[in-house]
């Protein structure tokens, strides 16, 4: 009779796990619809990005972002379903993974939003500040955009990790070292770019 109770217990656990996964899938689909409607109808994000000539998400930002959130919800519910297995090591591991996935998901979503905002507002600002359209200056402008974008995203990632409480002292020091290296690289790149611009300007000056 023990084997019968064991089979019934395993069957019950399996039904609960599958029910949680199914519920997560249905909820994820609903969340995707709500998020996409909010992005398209309320924020008008796709039209806004089209006007800003930002076409880096296929087929659209709203579709990409809502799909990403849907997949995150499915993964979280799939991991959460393991909490009903009555097997403590698996429950403990799934709890740790759920926490990690939640933190990473929040960080990724914030970075994606920040990336879009930087492309939509910071890049045009740099364009407006640089009037010279010569090839050398254009190359410098491209490097400047990449550098500013990378630096801002890095700072936002550090702030987000600190807010989530996952930035311990060791990670903070490593981040500061990386930040210092990034700033040094940017300064070196700008120095080389300015030297080329100065060289061109002096060449034009001596020609006159």
Question: What is the token pair recorded at 165?
Answer: 């409480």
pLDDT in tens, 53-77: 877 777 888 889 999 999 999 999 9
Q: 37 CB contacts (<8 Å, ≥6 apart)?
A: none
Residue 24 CB neighbour total at 10 angstroms: 19
Does the structure show a pLDDT above 80 at 9?
Answer: no
Question: What is the token pair recorded at 30?
Answer: 């609903």
Q: Which of 86-90, 96-100, 131-135 has the lowest mean pLDDT?
A: 131-135
Q: pTM of the prediction?
A: 0.76
**Mean pLDDT of the residues in the chain:** 79
Residue 62 CB neighbour total at 10 angstroms: 22
Cβ–Cβ < 8 Å for 20, 84: yes
Split at pLDDT 50, 70, 90, the class of 23 is very high
In this predicted model, which residue has the larger pLDDT, 144 or 161? 161
Does the structure show a pLDDT above 90 at 81?
Answer: no
Split at pLDDT 50, 70, 90, the class of 30 is very high
Which residue bears the tokens 């001596």?
A: 206
């Amino acid at each position: 009779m023990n084997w019968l109770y064991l089979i019934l217990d395993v069957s019950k656990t399996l039904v609960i796990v599958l029910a949680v996964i199914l519920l997560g899938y249905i909820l994820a689909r609903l969340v995707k619809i709500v998020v996409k409607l909010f992005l398209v109808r309320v924020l008008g994000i796709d039209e806004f990005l089209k006007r800003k000539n930002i076409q880096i998400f296929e087929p659209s930002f709203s579709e990409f972002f809502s799909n990403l959130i849907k997949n995150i919800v499915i993964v979280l519910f799939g991991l959460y379903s393991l909490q009903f297995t009555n097997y403590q090591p698996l429950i403990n591991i799934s709890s740790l993974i759920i926490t990690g996935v939640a933190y990473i998901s929040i960080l990724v979503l914030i970075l994606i939003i920040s990336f879009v905002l930087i492309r939509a507002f910071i890049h045009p600002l740099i364009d407006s500040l640089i009037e010279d359209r010569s090839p050398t200056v254009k190359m410098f402008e491209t490097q400047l955009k990449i550098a500013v974008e990378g630096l801002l995203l890095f700072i936002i990632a550090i702030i987000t990790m600190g807010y989530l409480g996952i930035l311990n002292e060791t990670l903070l020091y490593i981040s500061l070292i990386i930040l210092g290296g990034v700033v040094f690289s940017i300064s070196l790149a700008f120095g080389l770019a300015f030297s080329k611009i100065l060289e061109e300007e002096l060449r034009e000056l001596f020609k006159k």
